[in-house]
């Protein structure tokens, strides 16, 4: 498994915990909104900062796609 995939999995699990849901549900939502690749490709930025910043960014991305 690549370091990017390891981090993506970790991020999904932690974001799911933050949202009081499951990683499967988070991944399904990202897939439905065509955001999975975008979030995966943000590895360089997300892994170098506080996870809370990634959570805020993901929240904004989801919000912008669901309006």
CA dist 5 → 1, 28, 37, 46, 52 (Å): 6, 16, 11, 13, 19
Q: Residue 10's CB: how many other CB atoms inside 10 A? A: 14
Q: What pLDDT sits at residue 23? A: 98
Residues of the chain with pLDDT under 70: none
Q: What pLDDT sits at residue 67? A: 79
**Contacts for 8 with CB less than 8 Å, ≥ 6 apart:** 39, 40, 43
Q: What pLDDT sits at residue 18? A: 97
pTM, whole model, 2 decimals?
Answer: 0.93
Q: What pLDDT sits at residue 29? A: 98
């Amino acid at each position: 498994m690549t370091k990017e995939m390891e981090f993506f999995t970790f991020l999904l699990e932690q974001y799911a915990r933050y949202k009081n849901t499951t990683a499967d549900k988070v991944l399904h939502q990202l897939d439905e909104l065509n955001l999975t690749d975008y979030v995966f490709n943000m590895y360089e930025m997300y892994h170098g900062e506080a996870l809370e910043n990634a959570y805020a960014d993901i929240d904004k991305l989801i919000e912008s796609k669901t309006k």
